[in-house]
Structure 1
Amino acid sequence: MAIEKKIEDSLELELLKESTLLFVEHNQEILNEVSLFFKTYFKEVLTSSSKQGALELYNKEKTKIDIILTDLDLPNQDGLEFLTNIRAISSDIPIVLSTKNSNTEVLEKVICLKISNYILKPIKNITTIKILNQIIEENYNKKLILVQKRELELYKDILDKENLVSETDPDGIITYANDIFCEVSGYTKEELLGQPHNIVRHPDNSSKIFKNLWDTIKAGKVWKSKIKNKAKDGSSYYVKATIFPILDEAGNIKKYVSSRFLVTQDEEEKQTLKRYILQQKSQKVKFEQELENRYNDMLKEALEAKEMSITSFVSELQREIKTLRSRINDDKGRILNLEHKVSDANKKAEKDHDDFLEKLSKMRDTTRFSYERYERFKKLNESLKEKLAKAQESIKVYQEYIEEYRHKIDDLNDVIKSYEDDKKKEEEKKASKK
């Protein structure tokens, strides 16, 4: 009992707490005892001791029933009929059998009804809970994979509509290009597929950028940067690129996915703004120098001539210089403010894009993890099927042994009967002689 409790405590049964079990057992005492145990693990346990009652329960509550544990040995072969009826209603609800039956013919019919597993009576509570939990986990992972595949398809569709997306093999040869990539680069899909991705590389980029890119993604990491590309017609366009590797089950890189959004307009505006700022700074320096020279020349003349009018004019000029300097500083402030706005807009766009790609990456990792768990469960299920097949072979052999022993017992019974008959006749003869 202590060992059973220890095993029980070590189980990870979180999914059972959110699941509903339909338990069918013709023996009312077993039904009450075992269902009471199951209720400590499952969210809800529905019970029935007959085929008809179980079918009515299933039709009424099928939207919330997650798994069925049913007695194959229901009276009048109702167990097999119940399974057949359930499979006519639902082809994917997981079913586990409990049985004493070792009839190979019956078990073969049961296997054809897509049974998840079976247990031999008497029911061992902890073993049964483990089996039910494993099947529910496997079923949950299958559903999770389907949901995540649909979500990934949705995100991929959104990504395709908003970004330049391409995929390459491990050598950088393009295997996929979406419509926006074709439109911006000026190439058709036929022209891009099978070509190295550097078909859009601009010669202005430093070779160090691409060395860093390949070193990063070959190490299984994500590479992000702004980069200048060249379209088919020779024109330039700028993109904010994110490139990440896709790994197979063994952890090897099987392809690279690149997502890029255009920043050409922002980059051109930024370059225009930089040129304007430099021009303004240059003009400011030149203008201030001219004003300074004029001021010094006129001040010198005023001092030499000692004329009040000139001195007054020079003072006015000095005030004008201060006013112009103030305006220039205001212009400088406005320019800096524009720079900050452009920078903030760029940062926000990059953050939104990075958040989106991070979510996509997390979903990709979760899907891969779920798929690996599903594959493990699948292998375990195949192993159980092999064990079932071997068990059936053993049952067949044991049945042959049993039949042989039955014949021997029958022969022995005949010998005993013959001996008893002979003995009886002898006794009758002795009695008649007296």
Structure 2
Amino acid sequence: MSTATIDKKLLKNLNLLYVEDDETVRADLTSLLSKFFGTVYSAKNGEEGLLLYKKNQKNIDVIIADINMPVMTGIDMLKKVREFDKEVPAIFATAYSDKEFLVDAIKLKVFEYMIKPLDIRNLMVCLNEIAKNRYNDFLIKQQNKELKKYKDIIYNNDIVIKTDKQMNITFVNELFCKITGFDEKELLGQELSSLKHKDTDKTLYKKIYSSVLANKAWNGELKSITKDGSFYYALTTVVSTLDDSGEITGSLVIQKDETQKELRRKEIQSSLIKDKSEIFKKSKESTSELSQMINTLNQEIEDLTNKLTSEKQEKNSYIYTLERYSTENKRLSSELSSFRKVEGNSHNVSKKLIKLTKENADLKVEVNRLNGKIELLNDEHKKELKQQKVNFEVEIDDLEKVLNQTKEKLENVGDVEAISQKLAYWKEKAKNEAKRSEKMEHEIIAFGNENLMSKAFGGR
């Protein structure tokens, strides 16, 4: 393995104890190692190395030692260390003649056995592996802490049930006992399906068993029994538990109590159904009343239409009379002009002229009388039309409000398309009748101001 794979940051977190009796080798390697590692402790023999380790045990992560040394060998030193520290990694450096120590080194769980002179690259690779293992151990410990934290949270806030591979209960937590009233001893050895409520389909638990055996998670809602014969609802997750070899050993059931929430949901659902029924009933009554109002309004509109038609006929009669008198007036005027051309001294002519003049004056009086009556009728019709228009607008606004309120209620009941179309039809028809009334008003005003006046005075 090349030095390119060395993680210098990890190495810098390691502190070493280096034990070597050769002073030159010890000094050179200590100097080199200090560039890559945190702290490097050095000792000239096993005895001194043992004292250093005892003094700095918490700070030393790896031991590098020669085997064959005066005073105390590396093997003897590690034997003493193993009496109080079973885990610290050790690397032995030895000559070919030290093979007899190999068995002891294996018994002492030596991490690596290297031949002198030490190959620095191999030593660095070996130490890098130790650093990675140490870092991985650290991560595992952190993850275990997190898992324990999550486990505590789940155990304190959720129902937890464990089973064996045959789905027999092996454990329940305190929250389960608190919610159901069961004691753990009552359920140990019982099948998980023994908690099934009568409303729950039997095949549901078969699906759960199949998921566990297939190492697949099952999620859903379960209705389970309590000790007093009642029940609880729970959002449930069931997962398989495995051993170190990956074999299925049972299942872990985690449940979140949703009883109050589910009961509240059912209560709201029942209330909504009841309200919907009442709304439907009231809407039918309101629709009937509204239909009667629409029929009444329609009759009033029809009566007004007939009245307007009658008034229009009467107006046309007055116009016809006015035209007739106007024509007669023109004829008399023409005759008068003819008589004026005849000799004016004739006594008979004078009498006839006087008579014609009188008739003409009478005719003008009658025309003025008829014209005044027409104007009076126009004013009365105009006022009546305005009042009817205001009344219709008020009634239409009231009907629109009632229609909108009824439509909002009917939307919560179901399909009321037919009723809505009928209401829209009468609403539109009422608006059209109002427009027709307004149009008639304009026609009467137009006739009174222009045509009638023109005809009354012979186009002058």
| Alignment TM class, shorter chain as reference | 0.5 to 0.7
> Is the contact made by 1:35 and 1:45 (CA closer than 8 Å) also made in structure 2?
no
1:251 is aligned, of 241, 246, 269, to 246
Q: Deviations over 1:98-128 (max 9, x none)?
A: 2346395x77887776654443422233443
Could you tell which deviates more after superposition, 252-261 or 29-38? 29-38
| Alpha-carbon distance, 1:70 to partner | 2.0
Aligned-residue offset at 1:53: 7.0
State the match for 1:274 in structure 2.
269
Whole-angstrom distance in 2 between the partners of 1:12 and 1:191: 56
The match for 2:237 is 242
Does the 8 A contact of 2:238 with 2:253 survive in 1?
yes
Q: List aligned pairs for 1:403-414, cutoff 5 A.
A: none
1:321 and 2:315 matched: no
Tell me what 1:68 maps to: 63
Partner Cα distance (1:66, 1:178) in 2: 41
Counterpart for residue 44 of structure 2:
50
In structure 2, the CA distance between the partners of 1:188 and 1:299, relative to structure 1 (3 Å rule), is: same
Rounded to whole Å, the distance in 2 between the matches of 1:38 and 1:117 is 17
Could you tell me which of 209, 212, 218 is aligned with 1:223? Answer: 218
CA displacement at 1:87 relative to structure 2:
5.5
Aligned residue type for 1:71: D
Contact 2:283–2:409 (Cα < 8 Å) also in 1: no
Distance in 2, matches of 1:176 and 1:215, equals: 21
Letter in 1 for 2:280: V
Alignment partner of 1:285 is 2:280: yes
Match of 2:26 among 31, 54, 57: 31
Confirm whether residue 202 of structure 1 aligns to residue 197 of structure 2: yes
Look up the match of 1:260.
255
Where relative contact order (Cα < 8 A, 6+ residues apart) is larger, the structure is 1
Matched residues in 2 for 1:313 and 1:204: separation?
59
Q: How far apart, CA to CA, are the structure 2 residues paired with 1:79 and 1:250?
A: 38
Equivalent-residue separation in structure 1 for 2:98 and 2:211 (angstroms): 60
Instruction: Name the SS of the counterpart of 2:98 in structure 1.
Output: coil
For 2:297 and 2:144, how far apart are their aligned partners in 1? 86
- Would you say 1:102 and 2:98 are equivalent positions? yes
Shift of 1:260: 0.5
Given that 1:164 and 1:259 are in contact with CA atoms closer than 8 Å, whether structure 2 keeps it comes out as: yes
- CA–CA distance in 1 between the matches of 2:136 and 2:294? 89
Q: 1:161 aligns to what?
A: 156
CA separation of 1:56 and 1:186: change in aligned 2, threshold 3 A: closer
Deviation at residue 286 of structure 1 after TM alignment? 1.8
Partner Cα separation in structure 1 for residue 187 and residue 247 of structure 2: 25
- CA shift, 1:285, in A, is 2.1
What secondary structure does 2:72 align onto? helix
- Specify whether residues 99 and 271 from structure 1 end up closer, same or farther in structure 2 by C-alpha distance, changes over 3 A only: same
Change in Cα spacing, 1:50 to 1:168, as seen in structure 2 (3 Å) is: same
Alignment deviations for residues 37-75 of structure 1 (CA, whole Å, 9 cap, x no partner) = 5456x4425142435875676567543321111233344
Count of residues in correspondence between the two structures: 324
TM-fit CA distance, 1:175: 0.9
1:231–1:237 contact (8 Å) kept in structure 2: yes
Name the larger-Rg structure. Answer: 2
Cα gap change, 1:70/1:318 in structure 2, threshold over 3 Å: closer, same or farther?
A: same
Quote the residue 1:385 is aligned against.
Answer: none
Amino acid at match of 2:98: S
Distance in 1 of aligned mates of 2:84 and 2:164: 45
In structure 2, relative to structure 1, the CA distance for the partners of 1:80 and 1:197 (3 Å cut) is closer
Secondary structure, aligned partner of 1:168: strand
Q: C-alpha displacement at 1:138, in angstroms?
A: 4.7
| Equivalent residues of 2:195, 2:225 under 8 A apart | yes
User: CA deviation digits over 1:165-212, x for unaligned, max 9?
Assistant: 011111211111112212322322122110110111123233454344
Which secondary structure state, in structure 2, belongs to the residue aligned with residue 44 of structure 1?
coil
**149, 171, 179: which one pairs with 1:176?**
171
Tell me how far apart the structure 1 counterparts of residues 27 and 398 of structure 2 sit (CA, whole Å). 106
CA distance in 1, matches of 2:195, 2:5: 57
The whole-number CA distance in structure 2 between the counterparts of 1:167 and 1:103 is 53
TM-score by length of 1: 0.61
- Give 1:266 shift: 1.0
**How does 1:385-396 map onto structure 2 within 5 Å?**
none
- CA change 1:294–1:253 in 2 (3 A) is same
User: Alpha carbons of 1:67 and 1:251: their partners in 2 closer, same or farther (altered >3 Å)?
Assistant: same
Match of 1:159, SS?
helix
The letter of the residue matching 1:66 is D
Going from structure 1 to structure 2, the CA distance change for 1:43 and 1:135 (only over 3 Å counts) comes to closer
Verify the 8 A CA contact 1:291 1:321 in the aligned structure 2.
no
Root-mean-square deviation (Å): 4.1
In structure 2, runs of 5+ residues without a counterpart are: 305-387, 414-460
Give me the whole-angstrom Cα distance separating, in 2, the residues matched to 1:66 and 1:268: 60
Letter of the 2:11 partner, please give it.
Answer: L
Letter in 2 for 1:44: G
Query: Structure 2 vs 1, CA of residues 158 and 79 (structure 1 numbering), >3 Å: closer, same or farther?
Result: same
- The answer (yes or no) to whether the contact 1:67–1:136 under 8 Å persists in 2 is no
